[in-house]
Chains A and B, each alone.
Chain A
Amino acid sequence: GQNIDQPTEMTATEGAIVQINCTYQTSGFNGLFWYQQHAGEAPTFLSYNVLDGLEEKGRFSSFLSRSKGYSYLLLKELQMKDSASYLCAPLDSNYQLIWGAGTKLIIKP
């Protein structure tokens, strides 16, 4: 079957760094997306990885290890507006996004 595993909730302090891990099992693999979703809003695109390694984009970086079925999203210099849910979504062999429940990130002052 297909499965996404992320922590349900994480808490971090403003200005700090946080890493949100994701492990996945899918039927085939065609890359992995990270989306940010604020409460009551639709998801917005953050990153896409298809090759192993780290992709850096400003304060956010995303890492992928295909052999381990593992990805993480790294957020630096946390701001209060980063409080949101972060969704890990791999693409399976049919190019369908497989969604997990996401990780709710709470930023404290």
Chain B
Amino acid sequence: GAVVSQHPSRVICKSGTSVKIECRSLDFQATTMFWYRQFPKQSLMLMATSNEGSKATYEQGVEKDKFLINHASLTLSTLTVTSAHPEDSSFYICSTGTSGGAPKGHEQFFGPGTRLTVL
């Protein structure tokens, strides 16, 4: 399977600051990347789908002006949490997937996640 990295793995920031999380696909060109958020003991929540070279598609209830996604290349997508607040503290996970073709191609490969704590 594909190898996906995320940076940073942990970040602690003050309320009101912005935090950028990087997601890199190391061994294949990811036309599509997914950003998830997961609160303790809850399911993964898809925040947005990012397609290389175009605007991200945000899920209902996710503020696109607060969670800025940039997918400028086939190997890198970034999520910026702007003006972070304590309620944004969560585990953020990116994944890459192939699109189209047989369903098996929709398997997603996950990065290791970023633990964000906003004080």
Q: Which residues of A contact B (CB under 8 A)?
A: 4, 30-31, 33, 40-45, 48, 50, 87, 91, 95-97, 99-102
Flag B76-117 by CB within 8 Å of A: 1 or 0 each: 000000000000000101010001000110111111110100
Check if A30 sits within 8 Å of B106, measured CB to CB: yes
C-alpha gap A40/B46 in the complex (Å): 17
Interface presence of B44 (CB below 8 A): yes
Question: Is B1 an interface residue, CB under 8 A from the partner?
Answer: yes
CB-based closest 7 A-B pairs: A42-B110, A30-B103, A101-B43, A31-B103, A99-B44, A99-B43, A42-B113
Inter-chain contact total with CB atoms closer than 8 Å? 51
- Which residues of chain B come closer than 8 Å to A50, judged between CB atoms? 103-104
B42 within 8 A of A: yes
Q: How large is the interface on B (under 10, 10 to 19, 20 to 34, 35 or more residues)?
A: 20 to 34
Chain B hits for A101, CB < 8 A: 41-43
B113 touches A41 (CB 8 A): yes
A100 surroundings in chain B (CB, below 8 A): 43
Tell me how far the C-beta of A43 lies from the nearest C-beta in chain B, rounded to whole angstroms.
5
Residues from chain A with Cβ under 8 Å of B109 in the complex: 45
Q: Report B1 CB to chain A, min CB distance, Å.
A: 6
> Assuming A42-B112, A42-B113, A45-B109, is B104 touching A87 (CB within 8 A)?
no
Query: Nearest Cβ distance between residue B102 and chain A, in whole angstroms?
Result: 8
Q: Bound complex: CA of A41 vs CA of B38, how far in Å? A: 11
Min CB distance, B96 to chain A, in Å?
12
CB contacts (< 8 Å) of A45 on chain B: these are 1, 107-109
Query: In the complex, how many angstroms separate the beta carbon of A96 from the nearest chain B beta carbon?
Result: 8
Give the CA-CA distance A91 to B46 in the complex, in Å. 13
**Partner among A40, A44, A102 whose Cβ is within 8 Å of the Cβ of B43:** A102
Alpha-carbon distance between A50 and B101 when the two chains are bound, in angstroms: 14
Residues in A whose Cβ lies below 8 Å from that of B104:
31, 48, 50
Whole-angstrom distance between the alpha carbons of A40 and B39 in the complex?
A: 11
Q: A40-B91, A42-B93, A42-B113 are in contact. Are A87 and B43 (CB under 8 A)?
A: yes
